[in-house]
Amino acid sequence: MHIRFQIALLFGTFCSVQSFIIKASYESSAENEGYLLKDDDFSVSTLLERANLNAGKGENEPLVMFGDIAVDTDLKNADPCTARGCLWPKAPDGNVYVPFRISSAYSARERNTIMQGLASFASSTCIRFVPLDRQEDFVDIQSLSGCFSFVGRRGQGQNVSLSRRGCVFTHIVQHELLHALGFDHEQTRSDRDQNVRILLENVMQGQESNFRRIRTNNLGTPYDYNSVMHYGRFAFSSNGQPTILPIPDENAVIGRASQMSTLDIRRVNLLYRCNSTIYDKEP
């Protein structure tokens, strides 16, 4: 009995050592290649994936498709915003005023984070998020069942959901507000296949629509790995393997933006024809 115990102990130790060696070898290899799965823990796509397990399933919530895009239940798809006329109107002074209302459900800290995200547009674009004051069309920021938004202006009060459970980060606020202004995900761009390779064999079953390609208006700007609208390398992975690889350098960093990129800002200014002498700067 004593001999059996020793054998079992030796076997367990051997397995533990082998497991450690394999794990260390994998992590060393991944680190040498320039990325680790854990590096994407706070990427937009990882936060959305975690927060949106039940997105759109709450009572009176819109249908949520393509990760975090709300659509009318009778449409079943999300057409490019500019194809249907979805921009917020420009005022005579050249600014674009987007009324908003924030739910009272947020704590003071959470509200401050959301307000910072709203205010960040004013420093570099002609977009001005202003408190609702009887305007007919506005964004209604609520803590619903995940992080999601309609794409572009829909008319009347349109939900922008920033759940208190996982969505109240500045880059997530910017991401969802860019949707509300009319922007789609970067990896869905019409020219994405020249810039990234989508590995559908590694995508979770039922999540393939997150990687669709659509006819976007790219505004003459280049593809942007640093966009706050770009998903991470391991977005919706079923097996811990990459679902998006950059071309031609597979080790290029993608989807880790902590704030709007220079190109994100430029596109807002181009789409809304902001005063280029004030806002449009070279990256």
Would you write out the chain's pLDDT as a tens digit for each of its 283 residues?
444 434 343 334 433 333 333 333 323 333 334 555 555 666 777 776 777 566 666 667 777 667 677 776 554 444 567 666 789 999 999 999 999 999 999 999 999 999 999 999 999 999 999 999 999 999 999 999 889 999 999 999 999 999 998 999 999 999 999 999 999 999 999 999 999 999 999 999 988 988 999 888 899 999 999 999 999 999 999 999 999 999 999 999 999 999 999 999 999 999 999 986 666 554 4
CB 78 within 8 A of CB 151: yes
In terms of Cα–Cα distance, which of 150, 194, 131, 172 is closest to 61? 150
Q: How far is 64 from 75, CA to CA, in rounded Å?
A: 11
Residue type, 115: M
In terms of Cα–Cα distance, which of 214, 269, 264, 69 is closest to 152? 69
Q: How far is 221 from 261, CA to CA, in rounded Å?
A: 13
In terms of Cα–Cα distance, which of 281, 265, 277 is closest to 127? 265
CB 235 within 8 A of CB 243: yes
In terms of Cα–Cα distance, which of 276, 199, 234 is closest to 44? 234
Confirm whether 61 is a catalytic residue: no
Which contiguous run of DSSP H or E holds residue 262? helix 262-271
Catalytic residue among 33, 49, 136, 176: 176
φ/ψ (deg, to 5) at 7: -60, -45
In terms of Cα–Cα distance, which of 178, 192, 254 is closest to 222? 192
